[in-house]
């Protein structure tokens, strides 16, 4: 199992992948991708129990769903570097005839993806369904999901939250990326959502807050706590406080890089801040 | 001329309930979901016999569609149940992304389709659902004609891998197809042979078409009545074979003239064999409160309307 330094090194490489992918096609969403890098790397390299070969049903392994599909560059990089498909395929991101569509999809048969996402607010319901299928199959493995904070403005999430608690879907750990930013600005300016911890708890969920959502150690500790709360009759929520654009200084603490790619000069600066560790694709 | 009679009337939604109950016994991976309309969808037998395979989601159709998509991951075959309006328009994007685009094996089962749910009025009477669903790539669209066919269709779609929209209704309508039929998705059924006009119908309008054909026969018009229970994929060959013989066609459906069966038939004819066509359908309008029979008459969907369209289309040959 990789140690903390190994995971940090992987994150540095994944950041390079993200920057290079969105730069090449001058489109995509680097801000949220960079902010969730530590989380997804920790999840795939350490936290989840996964089988070597991908199959859609995912029986006998933990399953992850990305609900905020626009952070596809991060998802693709982590999937490729975990061997789900060739790393070189990252070169095809958002190009015609690619399996790496702008937002993740099962439609092109890309291993590692189990649901299309991009139109926001749908992933929690899907994760709940998969969690209930696990229970019907007597499969003790867990369902993990990731959601944006702005995404919680979609009402379907609240239907799903009510349902998951009422039906004791306690094999689900839904993580919310609390970066406080969305396309039009800070979430507190666009549509303040109040105290999300109180809201999840009021809906009957167990909540773990990870204050340092860009710290590998804090993520491992927080997710271990979240995992310890599963199987106790309540769905589990992780509120992951991250910095959008983390690891590239000029992209941090702003919504400006939500859906904008760096130019040549900006790419060079970003890559210099994230030296190659595993080898570029 | 072959004529059809019936001894019993029954609602097609009860055919769905009976089919689902049978699937509960034969298909261990079939699960069912409902958004607070268990009684209306006749799902009680399945639920009583398979309580752990039933998911009551409350009045939350968007969540229901997402959960159904998720349940397929792990090999389940989910059947969702609610009214046609709440099965389609209300949750179009959830169906589009999480089910159709994701290629999930979900069966969207929709009761109370069309005008004939009656007194509840236009808020509940969707006349656009066939169009909405047939436009989704990969979606199969089925509208059976009576209780027996609905039961057979419900059972058949469990073995079809991929998303299906199954549409049925509230009112009691004649049972005139066999109880032991095998349902073949995409395969038209010819009820009567005729030489003067082809009448293609879906849903309970097949019965209206058969009633019309009796009157037409007395008037010396020989009508070929074809049941198109599967609107997508459409049995184009059956339609083309018939119109090559009759030279004109009337399409009949409890749906808007825009986007329904009639348009699918028109496209087929335009591409392969341009033929005079008349449409029995609602004319780009919402419905209203009333009894099913009143609504069928007022909106021109009954056998009288079919006879009138046949007389019109024959003159256009």
Q: What is the mean pLDDT of residues B18-37?
A: 98
What integer pLDDT is reported at residue A236 of this predicted model? 99
What are the chain B neighbours of A136 within 8 Å (beta carbons)?
31, 52-53, 74, 76
Rounded to an integer, the average pLDDT of B52-56 is: 98
For B101-108, what is the mean pLDDT? 98
Calculate how close chain A gets to B33, using CA atoms only, in Å: 11
Burial of A210 (0-12, 13-18, 19+ CB in 10 A): buried
Residue A197, pLDDT > 90, answer: yes
User: Which chain A positions have a beta carbon within 8 Å of B102's beta carbon?
Assistant: 105-107, 115-116
CA A161 from centroid of its chain's CA atoms: 18
pLDDT in tens, A142-154: 999 999 999 999 9
Residue B262's pLDDT band (cuts 50, 70, 90): very high
| For helices A216-228 and A4-25, angle between their N-to-C axes, nearest 10 degrees | 110
Q: Quick check: B70 and A133 CB within 8 A? A: yes
Each residue's pLDDT tens digit, A81-123: 999 999 999 999 999 999 999 999 999 999 999 999 999 999 9
- Cβ-based contacts of A139 with chain B (< 8 Å): 74
Selecting from A59, A119, A124 the residue whose C-beta is nearest the C-beta of B74 gives A59
Q: What is the mean pLDDT of residues B183-207?
A: 98
| Binary contact (A125, B62; C-beta < 8 A) | yes
Does an H or E element contain B77, and which?
A: strand B77-83
- Mean pLDDT, chain A, integer: 97
Q: What is the pTM of this model?
A: 0.97
- pLDDT for position B7: 86
pLDDT tens string B280-294? 999 999 999 999 999
Q: Between chains, do B78 and A129 touch, taking CB under 8 Å as contact? A: yes
Percent of chain B with pLDDT over 70: 100
Q: Do B103 and A106 touch (CB under 8 A)?
A: yes
A135-192: pLDDT as tens digits: 999 999 999 999 999 999 999 999 999 999 999 999 999 999 999 999 999 999 999 9
Q: Cα separation of B113 and B125, whole Å?
A: 6
* A93 C-beta neighbours (distance < 10 Å), count: 24
CB-CB under 8 Å, A119 with B75:
no
Q: Rounded CA gap, A230 and B282, in Å?
A: 53
Instruction: Return the pLDDT at B47.
Output: 98
- Residue B188 near chain A (CB below 8 Å): no
Look at residue B41 in the predicted model and tell me its pLDDT: 98
Q: Is B292 on the interface with A (CB under 8 A)?
A: no
Rounded-to-integer distance, Cα B176 and Cα A160, Å: 43
- By CB neighbour count within 10 A (0-12 exposed, 13-18 middle, 19+ buried), where does A88 fall? exposed
Terminal-residue alpha carbon distance, chain B: 23
Catalytic residues of B: 61
Write down all domains in chain B, each with its CATH number in brackets.
9-174 (3.40.50.970), 189-315 (3.40.50.920)
What confidence category does residue B37 fall into, taking pLDDT thresholds of 50, 70 and 90?
very high
pLDDT recorded at residue B214:
97
Percent pLDDT > 90 in chain B is 99
Would the CB atoms of A57 and B78 count as touching at under 8 Å?
no
Give the gap in angstroms from C-alpha B205 to the nearest C-alpha of chain A.
36
Pick B102's closest partner by Cβ from A58, A63, A115. A115
Which chain A residues are Cβ-neighbours of B53 within 8 angstroms?
136
Give the tens place of pLDDT for each residue, B146-192. Answer: 999 999 999 999 999 999 999 999 999 999 999 999 999 999 999 99
Which of B28, B68, B70 has the most A C-beta neighbours within 10 Å, making it the best mutation to test the interface with A?
B70
Confidence at residue B1, expressed as pLDDT on a 0 to 100 scale: 79
Instruction: Please report the pLDDT score of residue A57 as a whole number.
Output: 98
Mean per-residue pLDDT over chain B, rounded: 98
**Residue A96: other Cβ atoms inside 10 A:** 5
Least Cα separation, residue B99 to chain A (angstroms): 9
- Cα maximum dimension of chain A: 53
* Chain A residue numbers touching B96 (CB-CB < 8 A): 119
Averaged pLDDT, B125-142: 98
Tokens 């403005």: give the residue.
Answer: A153
Nearest to A230 by CA among A162, A143, A171: A171
How many percent of chain A have pLDDT more than 70? 100
- How far CA B278 is from CA of A131, A167, A266, B192, B297, in Å, comes to 50, 51, 63, 19, 17
Q: How far is A23 from chain B (nearest CA, A)?
A: 27
Residue A29 pLDDT exceeds 90? yes
- pLDDT tens digits for range A225-245: 999 999 999 999 999 999 999
Average pLDDT over residues A64-90: 98
Is residue B185 within 8 Å of B142, Cβ to Cβ? yes
Q: List the single residue in B65, B73, B96 with the smallest CB-CB distance to A133.
A: B73
- The closest alpha carbon to B208, from B236, B182, B171, B237, belongs to B171
Top-tier CATH class for A4-272: alpha beta
The token duo for B156 is 């058949």
B2 pLDDT more than 90: no
Question: What's the rounded Cα separation, in Å, for the pair A109 and A157?
Answer: 27
ipTM of the complex as predicted: 0.97
Angle between helices A123-136 and B61-71 (to 10 degrees): 50
């Amino acid at each position: 199992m990789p140690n903390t330094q190994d995971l940090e090194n992987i994150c540095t490489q994944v950041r390079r992948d993200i920057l290079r992918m969105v730069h090449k096609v001058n489109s995509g969403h680097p801000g949220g991708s960079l902010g969730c890098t530590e989380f997804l790397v920790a999840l795939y390299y350490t936290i989840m129990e996964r089988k070597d070969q991908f199959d859609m049903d995912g029986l006998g392994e933990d399953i992850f769903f990305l609900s905020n599909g626009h952070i596809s560059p991060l998802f693709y990089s982590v999937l490729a570097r975990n061997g789900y498909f060739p790393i070189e395929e990252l070169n095809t991101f958002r190009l015609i005839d690619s399996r790496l569509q702008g937002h993740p999809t099962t439609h092109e048969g890309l291993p590692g993806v189990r649901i299309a996402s991009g139109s926001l607010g749908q992933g929690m319901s899907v994760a709940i369904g998969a969690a209930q299928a696990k229970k019907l199959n007597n499969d003790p493995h867990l369902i993990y999901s990731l959601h944006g904070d702005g995404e919680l403005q979609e009402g379907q999430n609240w239907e799903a939250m009510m349902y998951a608690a009422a039906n004791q879907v306690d094999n689900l750990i839904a993580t919310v990326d609390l970066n406080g930013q969305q396309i039009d600005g800070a979430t507190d300016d666009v549509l303040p959502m109040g105290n999300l911890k109180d809201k999840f708890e009021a809906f009957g969920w167990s909540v773990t807050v990870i204050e340092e959502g860009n710290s590998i150690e804090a993520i491992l500790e927080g997710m271990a706590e979240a995992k310890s709360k599963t199987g106790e009759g309540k769905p589990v929520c992780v509120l992951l406080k991250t910095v959008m654009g983390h690891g590239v200084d000029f992209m941090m603490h702003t919504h400006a890089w939500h859906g904008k790619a760096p130019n040549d000069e900006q790419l060079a600066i970003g890559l210099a801040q994230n030296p190659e560790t595993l080898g570029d694709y | 001329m072959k004529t059809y009679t019936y001894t019993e009337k029954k609602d097609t939604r009860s055919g769905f309930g009976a089919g689902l109950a049978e699937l509960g016994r034969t298909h261990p991976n079939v699960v069912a979901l409902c958004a607070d309309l268990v009684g209306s969808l006749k799902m009680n037998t399945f639920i009583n016999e398979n309580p752990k395979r039933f998911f009551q989601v409350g009045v939350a159709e968007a969540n229901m569609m997402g959960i159904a998509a998720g349940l397929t991951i792990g090999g389940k075959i989910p059947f969702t149940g609610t009214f046609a309006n709440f099965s389609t328009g209300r949750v179009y994007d959830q169906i589009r992304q999480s089910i159709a685009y994701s290629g999930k094996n979900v069966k969207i089962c929709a009761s109370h389709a069309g005008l004939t749910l009656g007194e509840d009025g236009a808020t509940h009477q969707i006349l656009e659902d066939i169009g909405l669903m047939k436009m989704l790539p990969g979606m199969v669209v089925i509208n059976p004609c009576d209780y027996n066919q609905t039961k057979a269709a419900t059972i058949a779609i469990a073995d079809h891998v991929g998303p299906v929209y199954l549409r049925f209704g509230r009112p009691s309508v004649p049972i005139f197809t066999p109880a032991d039929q095998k349902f073949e998705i995409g395969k038209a059924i010819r009820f009567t042979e005729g030489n003067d006009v082809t009448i293609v119908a879906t849903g309970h309008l097949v019965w209206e078409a058969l009633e019309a054909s009796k009157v037409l026969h007395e008037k010396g018009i020989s009508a070929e009545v074809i049941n198109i229970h599967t609107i997508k994929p459409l049995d184009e060959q059956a339609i083309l074979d018939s119109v090559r013989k009759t030279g004109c066609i009337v399409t009949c459906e409890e749906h808007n003239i825009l986007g329904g069966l009639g348009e699918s038939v028109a496209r087929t004819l335009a591409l392969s064999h341009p033929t005079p066509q008349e449409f029995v359908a609602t004319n780009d309008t919402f419905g209203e409160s009333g009894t099913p029979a009143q609504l069928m008459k007022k909106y021109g969907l009954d056998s009288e309307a079919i006879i009138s369209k046949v007389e019109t289309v024959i003159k256009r040959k």
